[in-house]
Amino acid sequence: TVAAAIEGVMFGIPGIAFSQVDRGWAQIDDAAKAARDIVTQALQEPMERVDGIATLLNVNIPNGHYEQLKRWRVTRLGTRHHSQPVIVQQNPRGENIYWIGPAGEARDISPGTDFHAINEGCISITPMQLDLTHHARQASMRASGWDRG
């Protein structure tokens, strides 16, 4: 879900990625109404570029009826344990197909994280940016002579 929004952000276009926490379609209409409310809020306060960086909102919506989805939390990303291994199976033609293993269990569920918000029954909204530069490592590499010429 986030990957599609990242595509726009890479071109300087703000984006919102919506995910429903539990799989299934039972309450998709309720989640869609909550998503509409978040888009309406985002349009009232446009996600302007900050320091030239476009913003991506990663939104996780817990299952629930629309009336239960009124609490929102601005969060940071929690962390997970490693995902389970890739599952190799064969399709009807005998060719290998690969399923990505289930996501790992939540590791950092402390207050302020998306996991904590979801566990509290709140929608989590995490503003993200795409600068993947490891700034501390960049500085140490420069200090140890990696820059040449």
What the chain holds in terms of domains, given with CATH numbers, is: 2-78+108-143 (3.40.1210.10)
Q: Which two tokens stand for residue 1?
A: 């879900």
Return the pLDDT at 92.
95
Q: Which two tokens stand for residue 39?
A: 């888009």
Q: Which residues contact 122 (CB under 8 A, 6 or more apart)?
A: 62, 71, 72, 73
End-to-end CA distance of the chain: 42
Average pLDDT, the chain: 87
Residue 8: pLDDT over 90? no
For residue 122, give Cα distances in angstroms to 3, 45, 104.
23, 21, 21
Do 76 and 126 form a contact (C-beta atoms < 8 A)? yes
Cα gap 73→117, rounded to integer Å: 6
Residue 82: pLDDT over 70? no
pTM of the model: 0.77
Minimal CA–CA distance to 15: which of 60, 44, 57, 66?
57
The stretch 53-69 carries a mean pLDDT of 91
Return the pLDDT at 67.
92
Residue 58: pLDDT over 70? yes
Give the three-state DSSP class for 49: coil
Q: For the segment 96-144, what is each residue's pLDDT rounded down to a tens digit?
A: 999 887 776 777 778 999 999 999 999 999 999 887 788 899 999 999 9
